[in-house]
Chain A
Amino acid sequence: MNTFKRFFKANLRQNGMVIALVFIMALFQVLTGGILFRPMNINNLVLQNAYVLILAIGMLLCILTGNIDLSVGSVVAFIGAVSAVMMVRLGLGVGVTIVLALLLGIAVGAFHGVFIAMFRIPAFIVTLAGMLIFRGLTMVILRGQTIGPFDRSFRAIASGYLPGEELRIAGLNGVAIVAGILMTVYFIVAIIWARNNKKKYGFEVLPVSIEVGRVAFIAIAINFFTYSLAAHDGIPVVLILLLGLMMIYSFLTQRTILGRHIYALGGNEKAARLSGVKTQRIMFLVYTNMGLLAALAGLVVASRLNAATPKAGTMFELDAIGAVFIGGASASGGIGTVIGAVVGGLVMGVLNNGMSIMGVSVDWQQAIKGMVLLGAVSFDVYTKKRSQGS
């Protein structure tokens, strides 16, 4: 019991978020009369929130450095507009367009990065300018009109599914079921491997009972999730994209030198520089990366809407920033995780989705989301104070 308490306390910040997510899901499951967990809705949750999660991952890195990026919503619209022009007006192929759009995103991010890292202009100002510049350019390019529709293969980014429809297991999509089982196995093997490695170095490991409980919880969650997808149309393409990004950026932030340098820069820039961290380069990379991910989100959004519109991506930056803070990141930098940001994004997504099903008006949804953000961060500050006091 004691070890359990200690484990729980040590992970209160992270577990707190997961618990909040589970609580909100359960709440809306009841409030919506069971609609929330229906396969179709689970599928919708993924498709609706993909862009926020992509942006939140990039935004997390910006927030880790102690800054934010206000431009991402405009960049989403800008990339969508440019891609639409390339495909619809210029007749370029889908593959070429995607590559060019991502490169353009990198260029946009680098543009911000130069001003922030080299000229040392506060990121808030640079990206505020970027927000205006790229929203304006979007309108210039689109001349106030909507461009669409797109080729089917482009639409598949946001609304396509993995092939293998013919493989059926008990009337369900076989690919999704198998993927769920494979992921569970991979997860268990990874945990055992990490445990053994820790033991090899003679470190303390979690008691078996807690570890088993943790694995069981995650295994159930994964398989319920893939089962729901299997009962619908299978695994969405954008989900693969998301999982890939989560894995890459989790690894990057937690396991690599680059990631450690980002945290150190956010924790104390001067100390980091005097420890050999190339702070300017890191800052530049973080904002360039944000440009890349904003471009990716821009493609997803355009693909989902099947059109480029001047108003696309409005307020997306605030959704992403909100997700990161709900996910436990610190506004002064140096604290936060990719998984936290994703969980934060899901909390917002479930709120949106649940309230929409219940027929809550959009105006109220905004207000409620605002209150959740404030509540989540207040809770975070409160638990941090308490854990410091003891």
Chain B
Amino acid sequence: MADVLLEMKNITKTFSGVTALSDVDMAVVDGEIRALVGENGAGKSTLMNILSGVYPYGTYSGEIVWDGKPCEFRDIRDSERLGIVIIHQELALVPQLSIAENIFLGNEQASRGVIDWNMTSVHARQLLEKVGLDEHPGALLGTIGVGKQQLVEIARALSKKVKLLILDEPTAALNDEESRKLLSLLVDLKEHGITCILISHKLNEVSEVADNITILRDGCVIETIDRHHEDFHEDRVIKSMVGREMTNRYPEREHHIGEEVLRVEDLVTYHPDQSERQMVRGVSLTVRKGEVVGLAGLMGAGRTELAMSIFGRSYGQKHSGSVFVRGKKVDIHDVTSAIANGIAYVTEDRKSLGLVLIDDIRRNITLPNLKKISAHGVINQNEEVVAAEQFRTRLTIRSSGIDQVVESLSGGNQQKVVLAKWLMSEPDVLILDEPTRGIDVGAKYEVYTIINQLASQGKSILMISSEMEELLGMCDRIYVVNGGEIAGELPRAEATQESIMKIIMTHQKQSRERKSA
């Protein structure tokens, strides 16, 4: 057994009376990849914030021992000095600065306060090579994708001589390919002696790379499973996380598929800033009553752009093509008319696009539906409370009441608020964009159940997801999107991860050939 690098003993942390962590013990061995899993609110982030000094010594009880020596971190700098670097889910990078500047942010390559740009550039190049990112260090961070930005964060950690790298949901915003790349980088770093704590909801990834999995539930360590132990598999981990057996991750549903409800023909949309760049290229699709239709594709395939173009042209410019609802051509030129025609869109980014975070649950749920509870533009606030309360109960939004500010809700409950607001609009067609991103297994199951209920009530669902398993588990039919086009269509029976990837690959090859021709 190798040396223990880090030991956390009897860590207990309370927030004004509420216990977030109770008596947590965790030991991390030098050079391992340790996964930390648990449902939202289990205490993973709190534990890591204590370890990295975000919550300073004295605000918790217990002991942190690093390399045999007890530590009392006053702030992040203290922990970074020892080589503990945390990369948060929301990246702490500045999009307006270059990649190199971001790598050395707060750690500038300077002498006497004057930045040495040559040294910055040289070192940045070396670090980028280490993380396998082929970009010019002078490129603006905002111009590269999220996956690459994640790599920049890791390069930045490396520049701080990291020994223990903590990643909080690093793959939440990445597609499968980017995720794989990131995970293999972690394995690569391990070879170079960098220990890693990986927080993730994606259990398949975790079991791929982790040496040990520590499971937290309700602020306690339930168990730590070794890679070589026979219990090292997803079902076992899920059971520990939720405290019960989950036989089926995707709830069953009866399929009653009826007539066509939504038809999109030849939809074309251009990029909002670059008026020559086609983002959606002549897409046609249909969704029938009671049907769950998936949009599969890699990140950047144009699925969100497509969905938002259908939803009242809320993305891009120079739109053309037609939308039919129940066989009738409808004029959907803005969001209001989309709502009026029974289309709703649950955004992929609930915090910046889906919710007014400073408002309470009630006001968020009723925002698109104020007409329903008003007469002559005047809101009946009592009706509003009744309606909001009804949805809070129906979707089991865990909160102190409908007056709780949504900012303070967990990710899963925030997602339910977004769902509630669009359910209240009673749409015929519900477009869901990454409906389970960044929420835990239990909340996912609840969201799936809600989707199934809606489908069996006769709603039509169009669902975007980067987790192929989810699409395969939920959808009756899957459109494969690539390069802003529909690359193929698969019924449930024929859809597998392999068949979807094959369609994408073939389509990519074809479009390359078309371009070169």
The answer on a CB contact under 8 Å between B377 and A258 is yes
The answer on a CB contact under 8 Å between B363 and A275 is no
From A198, A200, A256, A274, contact of B345 by CB (8 A)? A274
Tell yes or no: A271 within 8 A of B by CB: yes
A179 to B142, CA, bound (A): 62
In the assembled complex, which residues on chain B have CB atoms less than 8 Å from the CB atom of A260? Answer: 363, 366-367, 370, 379
The answer on a CB contact under 8 Å between B382 and A198 is yes
The answer on a CB contact under 8 Å between B359 and A263 is yes
Q: Mark A259-272, 1 if CB is under 8 A from B, else 0.
A: 01101100110111
The answer on a CB contact under 8 Å between A277 and B367 is yes
Q: Mark A230-273, 1 if CB is under 8 A from B, else 0.
A: 00000000000000000000000001111011011001101111
Q: Mark B1-32, 1 if CB is under 8 A from A, else 0.
A: 00000000000000110000000000000000
Q: A264-B359, A274-B354, A276-B336 are in contact. Are A390 and B385 (CB under 8 A)?
A: no
From B353, B374, B377, contact of A270 by CB (8 A)? B353
B347 shortest CB reach to chain A, Å: 6
The answer on a CB contact under 8 Å between A203 and B385 is yes
- Taking residues whose C-beta sits less than 8 angstroms from the other chain, chain A's interface range is 20 to 34
The answer on a CB contact under 8 Å between B367 and A275 is yes
Tell yes or no: A335 within 8 A of B by CB: yes
Q: A258-B377, A390-B16 are in contact. Are A273 and B314 (CB under 8 A)?
A: yes
Tell yes or no: A364 within 8 A of B by CB: no
The answer on a CB contact under 8 Å between B421 and A275 is yes
Tell yes or no: B221 within 8 A of A by CB: no
Tell yes or no: B378 within 8 A of A by CB: yes
Q: A267-B357, A267-B358 are in contact. Are A276 and B374 (CB under 8 A)?
A: no
From B15, B353, B377, B382, contact of A271 by CB (8 A)? B353
* B383 (CB) vs chain A CBs: closest residue: A201
Tell yes or no: A310 within 8 A of B by CB: no
Q: A260-B367, A267-B356, A268-B352 are in contact. Are A197 and B345 (CB under 8 A)?
A: no
A200 to B370, CA, bound (A): 21
In the assembled complex, which residues on chain A have CB atoms less than 8 Å from the CB atom of B184? Answer: none
Tell yes or no: B241 within 8 A of A by CB: no
A103 to B347, CA, bound (A): 42
Q: Which of A200, A270, A330 has the most CB of B within 10 A?
A: A270
A34 to B363, CA, bound (A): 46
The answer on a CB contact under 8 Å between A271 and B354 is yes
In the assembled complex, which residues on chain B have CB atoms less than 8 Å from the CB atom of A198? Answer: 382
Tell yes or no: B381 within 8 A of A by CB: yes
A257 to B373, CA, bound (A): 10
Tell yes or no: A344 within 8 A of B by CB: no
* B386 (CB) vs chain A CBs: closest residue: A201
Tell yes or no: B42 within 8 A of A by CB: no
A295 to B357, CA, bound (A): 35
B374 shortest CB reach to chain A, Å: 6
Tell yes or no: B368 within 8 A of A by CB: yes
The answer on a CB contact under 8 Å between B374 and A257 is yes
A263 to B370, CA, bound (A): 13
Q: Mark A190-216, 1 if CB is under 8 A from B, else 0.
A: 000000011011010000000000000
B400 shortest CB reach to chain A, Å: 12
- Taking residues whose C-beta sits less than 8 angstroms from the other chain, chain B's interface range is 35 or more
The answer on a CB contact under 8 Å between B355 and A271 is yes
In the assembled complex, which residues on chain A have CB atoms less than 8 Å from the CB atom of B329? Answer: none
From A258, A263, A264, A273, contact of B335 by CB (8 A)? A273
The answer on a CB contact under 8 Å between B339 and A264 is no
In the assembled complex, which residues on chain A have CB atoms less than 8 Å from the CB atom of B374? Answer: 256-257
Which B313-348 residues have a C-beta within 8 angstroms of A?
314, 334-336, 338-339, 345, 347
Q: A260-B370, A271-B352, A275-B335 are in contact. Are A255 and B378 (CB under 8 A)?
A: yes
Tell yes or no: B408 within 8 A of A by CB: yes
Tell yes or no: A11 within 8 A of B by CB: no
Tell yes or no: B398 within 8 A of A by CB: no
In the assembled complex, which residues on chain A have CB atoms less than 8 Å from the CB atom of B502? Answer: none
* B356 (CB) vs chain A CBs: closest residue: A267
A258 shortest CB reach to chain B, Å: 6
B490 shortest CB reach to chain A, Å: 30
Which A357-390 residues have a C-beta within 8 angstroms of B?
388-390
Tell yes or no: A130 within 8 A of B by CB: no
The answer on a CB contact under 8 Å between A274 and B335 is yes
In the assembled complex, which residues on chain A have CB atoms less than 8 Å from the CB atom of B236? Answer: none
Tell yes or no: A334 within 8 A of B by CB: yes
* B337 (CB) vs chain A CBs: closest residue: A276
In the assembled complex, which residues on chain A have CB atoms less than 8 Å from the CB atom of B311? Answer: 274
* B350 (CB) vs chain A CBs: closest residue: A271
Q: Which of A267, A275, A330 has the most CB of B within 10 A?
A: A275
Tell yes or no: A311 within 8 A of B by CB: no
The answer on a CB contact under 8 Å between A334 and B359 is yes
In the assembled complex, which residues on chain A have CB atoms less than 8 Å from the CB atom of B357? Answer: 267-268
The answer on a CB contact under 8 Å between B336 and A278 is yes
Q: Which of A255, A261, A278, A330 has the most CB of B within 10 A?
A: A255
Q: A271-B356, A274-B311, A274-B347 are in contact. List 12 more A-B contacts (CB 8 A).
A: A198-B382, A200-B382, A256-B377, A256-B379, A260-B366, A267-B358, A268-B356, A270-B353, A271-B354, A276-B338, A276-B368, A278-B334
Question: B residues touching A (Cβ–Cβ < 8 Å)?
Answer: 15-16, 311-312, 314, 334-336, 338-339, 345, 347, 352-359, 363, 366-368, 370-371, 374, 377-379, 381-382, 385-386, 408, 421
Q: List 18 A-B contacts (CB under 8 A).
A: A201-B385, A256-B377, A257-B370, A257-B371, A258-B377, A260-B363, A267-B359, A268-B357, A270-B352, A273-B314, A273-B335, A274-B335, A274-B354, A276-B312, A276-B336, A276-B339, A276-B368, A388-B408
Q: What are the 6 closest A-B residue pairs judged by CB atoms, nearest first?
A: A267-B356, A275-B368, A268-B356, A257-B370, A276-B336, A275-B367
